[in-house]
Amino acid sequence: MCTGKCAKCIGASLYPLAFSCIVANLLLFFPNFQLDYVQDTDKLTPEVLLFGGIFGGGIMILFPAIHIHATGSRGCCANRCGMFLSIAFAGMGVLGSAYCLVVSSLGMVNGPMCRTGVTNWTRPFYVESDELELTDKSYLFQSETWDKVCEEPKNIIVFNVVLFSLLIGCSSIELVLCLLQMINGLFGCICGTCGKRRPGPV
């Protein structure tokens, strides 16, 4: 596969991943699909407010996706200069996807904000920074205790785990694709995009 076609494929693949990250992050603002909690950000999981999916895995991926996709199509970007610029855009995508991946992983490991008593809102599963390990003691492996610990919002742990898992998965794929485009862009600078139109029969 030539570098131009590879770039077009990578760019097209980044679009749905970016939109998925944006949607997942937006949904996290509405625990259990309820509107009440977004009015009081103290009741939202802190990592949600860092906009890992909206900014990192979303906006910082969409701009590279547009340029990378353009380098694989016939036009002003389908040349060595366009491929060189795609390396920089892909680097931007690497930073964005890595940011989303780190924030989402922290949100997953530390667990959600929830009501554990009559009026007590806290993060019952919060892990100190020097103890960030997924062991058998983690709440993720003790699903039978979820409903007992978090009384409100209902099913908040499942809600967070599913959406943060989606963000982790999408941002991981974005990271790999952007790294591939950096390599592809380097070859494109050297070899060209293979996008020149072949002369037709006389």
Query: Cβ(97)–Cβ(63) under 8 Å?
Result: no
Cα separation, 80 vs 99, in Å, equals 29
Residue 164 corresponds to which amino acid?
Answer: F
Identify the three-state secondary structure at position 114: strand
- Output the six-digit token pair for 174: 């974005």
Alpha carbons 56 and 100: distance in angstroms, whole number = 5
35 has pLDDT over 70: yes
Q: Is the pLDDT of residue 145 over 70?
A: yes
User: From start to end of 36-188, where are the E strands?
Assistant: 114-115, 121-122
Provide the pLDDT confidence category of residue 148 given band limits of 50, 70 and 90.
Answer: confident
Domain map of the chain by residue range? 3-126+138-191
Tokens of 50: 């860092």
Q: What is the pTM of this model?
A: 0.86
User: Is the pLDDT score of 108 beyond 70?
Assistant: yes
Chain mean pLDDT for the chain? 84
**Rg (Cα) of the chain, in Å, rounded?**
21
Amino acid at residue number 147: D
Q: Give the Cα separation of 40 and 25 in Å (integer).
A: 17
Question: Which of the pair, 81 or 202, is modelled with greater confidence?
Answer: 81
Mean pLDDT score, 120-132: 71
